[in-house]
Amino acid sequence: MKIGIVLGTRPEIIKMSSLIDEINKHDDECVIIHTGQHFDDEMSKQFFIDLNLPLPDYNIGIGSNTAIKQISIIISELEKILIDEKIDIVLVQGDTNAVLAGALAANKLKIPVGHVEAGLRSFDKDMPEENNRIIADNCSSLFFVPTKENAINLQNEGINHKDIHVTGNTIVDACKRNLKIAIEKSGVKDIIKYDKYIVLTLHRAENVDNPERLKNIVRSLLKLEYNIVFPLHPHTKKSLEENDLYEQMLKSSHIQITKPLGYLDFLYLLSKSSLVLTDSGGIQEESITLNIPCVTLRYNTERPETISAGGNILAGTEEKEIKYNIESILNNEEVYEKMANAVNPYGNGDSSEKIYSIIKDAFENNRLKIKSSDTIVDFEGYLMKNITNDITVEEFENENKNQIIEQIFYNGLPEFIDEKTNLKNKSIIIKKFKQRT
């Protein structure tokens, strides 16, 4: 089997690293295609070094550009690469422009797509990431969702439950595999100025490209009575400079700005911090994995399970709210302990093993082919049924050929559809077909 991995930014390299290792452990071929969206060594090459990965086979080199230029160039370059390489399945991870372009290019070539970290939804169409992940999911054949909540989002959008696999998040694999190495090897401790500190990261377009929000956040940081270590994303550096905020932050004695850090250095920094303040997606997941309370500088999150687990709080970007949330965690031991001990919803670090074996099984059993039916299939419509007898999802669908369960409700709430779920006393929504031979 030949697997093509399309990636373009720092978090995709980190979150695909354990899966690349897994593929390379077996007899399969892995072709890594970097779009070049992140191009500075500290945003890209450093992660291949830290994570011991083979360098990409291709780099499309799109660099900084408008989203439309980036996406259209990636798609047309991928056409040649995917055809020449005779790729059996394309894997994309997350919600960046590489994910949208990779999924769309493969879909147009009828190459199946596996979406790692599928099903996340912030329900905020103003975010480029939300649109990217929805389009990528629409182009995909296999959905590797971190949690059951993500699966329910896809069920709601009519995705067949047979293609949805709850695998946890590969960020846990990356954290667990690298934390010990980071603690032994990272040299970042020699440059951190403070014993106790908050880690800050900021880069999302909705914050850093919005001068009002950016100013509010910076105003709040400048007044905080805690030390802050701030590895600065190049996107944010540019916006801080454009808004005359960079110098003010640089001069502040309780804020230490560093370059973007490599993965081992960042893991070390995060694991020794008191709290993380961030708008990053991956860091909301890593903080709950490493038992560090997280305050998210956003108004919504596609990672709501970190909040319901109790490890993360949405603070928005207003000065007062940011200060209030940080103080109420750091000045109250009980609150702090509760957040730090929140149960990680993203699995135990075996996501990449699970994902690899699902792909392998689908490939070997010829289930990766995109092909329509040779018999006439009439779509009859949707039905709702209340089930009163003991019957599992698998048994129901075997008994009722041409009926696919789209959603299960129990006590008014939707449930993740597992083949073994007993449907007794539950309501189901079914998609019904009539097949003629």
Beta strands in 84-188 (DSSP E): 89-93, 113-116, 142-145, 164-166
- Report long-range pairs for 393-400 (Cβ below 8 Å, ≥24 apart): 393/161, 393/417, 393/418, 393/419, 393/420, 393/421, 393/423, 394/419, 394/420, 396/423, 396/428, 400/430
CB nearer to ligand UDP: give 40 or 378.
Answer: 40
Helix (H, G, I), strand (E, B) or coil at 300: coil
Beta strands in 95-222 (DSSP E): 113-116, 142-145, 164-166, 198-201
CB nearer to ligand UD1: give 9 or 296.
Answer: 9
Dihedral sign (CA 144, 11, 169, 307): negative
Q: Which of 283, 290, 292, 314 binds ligand UDP (CB under 6 A)?
A: 283
289 binds ligand UDP (CB under 6 A): no
| Residues in contact with ligand UD1, shown as a per-residue x/- string from 31 to 50 under the rule CB under 6 A | ------xxxx--x-------
d(CA 93, CA 3): 13
d(CA 412, CA 122): 22
9 binds ligand UD1 (CB under 6 A): yes
Q: What are the structure tokens assigned to 90, written together?
A: 């394309």
Question: What is the Cβ-side half-sphere exposure of residue 67, based on CA atoms within 13 angstroms?
Answer: 12
Active site residue 203: yes
Q: Looking only at residues 13 through 32 of this chain, which bind ligand UDP when binding is defined by CB under 6 A?
A: 14
Q: Which of 35, 96, 289, 306 binds ligand UD1 (CB under 6 A)?
A: 96
- Kindly state the smallest distance separating residue 237's Cβ from ligand UD1, in Å: 8
Give the distance between the most distant pair of CA atoms in the chain. Answer: 76
Q: Looking only at residues 248 through 277 of this chain, which bind ligand UDP when binding is defined by CB under 6 A?
A: 260-261, 263, 266
From the list ligand UDP, ligand UD1, none, which binds 286 (C-beta under 5 to 8 Å, kind-based)?
ligand UDP
Residue tagged active-site, from 203, 233, 235, 254: 203
Pick the stretch among 6-14, 22-30, 73-81, 362-370 that binds ligand UDP (CB under 6 A): 6-14
What residues make contact with ligand UD1 under the rule CB under 6 A?
Answer: 9-11, 37-40, 43, 64, 95-97, 128-129, 203, 234-235, 238
Q: State the catalytic residues.
A: 203
What residues make contact with ligand UDP under the rule CB under 6 A?
Answer: 10-11, 14, 201, 203, 231, 260-261, 263, 266, 280-283, 286
